[in-house]
Amino acid sequence: MPHPNTPRPKKQSQSVRTPSNLIFGRTQQKHQSSRTGKRTVMKFTDSPVIELPVRNSLISLQQDNGSMHVGTSVWPCSLVLVKFIDRWAPPTPNPIDPNPYSQLLDFRNKRGIELGAGCGAGGMGFYLLGLTDLVLTDIAPVMPALKHNLKRNKPVLSKTLKHSILYWNNLDQINSLKPPFHYVIAADVVYIEETVGPLVSTMDALMADDGVVLLGYQLRDPEADKLFWELCDKTFDIEKVPHEDLHPDYAYEETSVYVFRKKKKKEES
């Protein structure tokens, strides 16, 4: 992946299957705009197209790296998470399968929700891998990018996936989604300290007692990182997927996948 200052193509979008055109860095300007909700016009043709192979399908993602919202770019952890699932999710669950993740990734009769869906890579990938009862969520200014990519990939998905506006910790919006969900999916969502508390409480509110959070993670901001893990340690049992279990083509050095489960409540004596 290039340094964030690498010039982007200005005339015609490219189609790439590698992470070389994803954004690893972040800008204060984007963060400020995300907080203020300033409306911008998406310019999808000015940025590279990202292609993500999932089983026998190919997701094509148009992004707007020049917009004022972090959610309009494809971030690497969404690809890492999807390809981890792609490696281990059994096409046909088998109780005697030696696959160590076959039970965790048995999507049959389960509901899922993605937080911070952005351009939709994570949600679309999970849908193609069998999590078909799924809703993708993000804030209102990012919805044009999400809707654009859901429409773009409708021939691959055979439908337009469910999507909804969700601001973390907005109880009315959370309740309208009718939790609980067995799977709460999130990737590259920890980058501003002030949103960490709402994020963790929203994960907890949406997640079933026997559910899991599947998280693609990379350190973006030291203060946000510190607070995130402090709050998660109080709320969840945390398991880090061994790096060697990630997809070999998408095992980026600085990215990780985690599985969160709710801490069991201590029985009152």
pLDDT per position as a tens digit, 169-222: 899 999 999 999 999 999 999 999 999 999 999 999 999 999 999 999 999 999
3-state class percentages of the chain: helix first, strand second, coil last, to nearest 5? 35, 20, 45
pLDDT of 60 strictly over 70: yes
User: Sign of dihedral through CA atoms 13, 83, 121, 156?
Assistant: positive
Whole-number pLDDT of residue 126 = 98
Residue 79 has pLDDT above 70, yes or no: yes
Question: What pLDDT does 69 receive?
Answer: 79
What per-residue confidence (pLDDT) applies to 266? 67
Q: Is residue 76 within 8 Å of residue 22, measured between CB atoms?
A: yes
23, pLDDT greater than 70: no
- Phi, psi dihedrals of residue 256, rounded to the nearest 5°: -140, 160
Q: What is the mean pLDDT of residues 56-80?
A: 90
Tokens 């599985």 -> residue: 259
Inter-axis angle of helices 76-88 and 121-128, to 10 degrees?
10
Under the banding of pLDDT at 50, 70 and 90, the label for residue 265 is confident
pLDDT (average), residues 247-258: 96
Q: SS3 of 71, please?
A: helix
Residue range 19-43: mean pLDDT, rounded:
41
Q: How many CB atoms lie within 10 A of CB 52?
A: 24
Q: Is 10 helix (H, G, I), strand (E, B) or coil?
A: coil
**Beta-ladder partners of 165:** 138
The percent of residues in the chain predicted with pLDDT above 90, rounded, is 72
Distance CA(37)–CA(32), nearest Å, equals 9
**pLDDT-wise least confident of 49-53, 64-68, 119-123, 227-231:** 64-68
Say if residue 38's pLDDT is above 70: no
Give the model's pLDDT for residue 11.
Answer: 34
63-76 CB burial, b ≥16 within 10 A, e <16: bbbebbbbbbbbbb
| For residues 73-88, average pLDDT | 96
- Summarised one tens digit per residue, pLDDT across range 104-113 is 999 999 999 9
The pLDDT of residue 41 is: 53
Total residue length of the chain:
269
pLDDT band at 257 (very low <50, low <70, confident <90, very high): very high
Query: Do the beta carbons of residue 112 and residue 181 sit within 8 Å?
Result: yes
Domains and CATH numbers, the chain: 75-262 (3.40.50.150)
CA–chain centroid gap for 10, Å, is 27
Quick one: average pLDDT of 56-83?
91
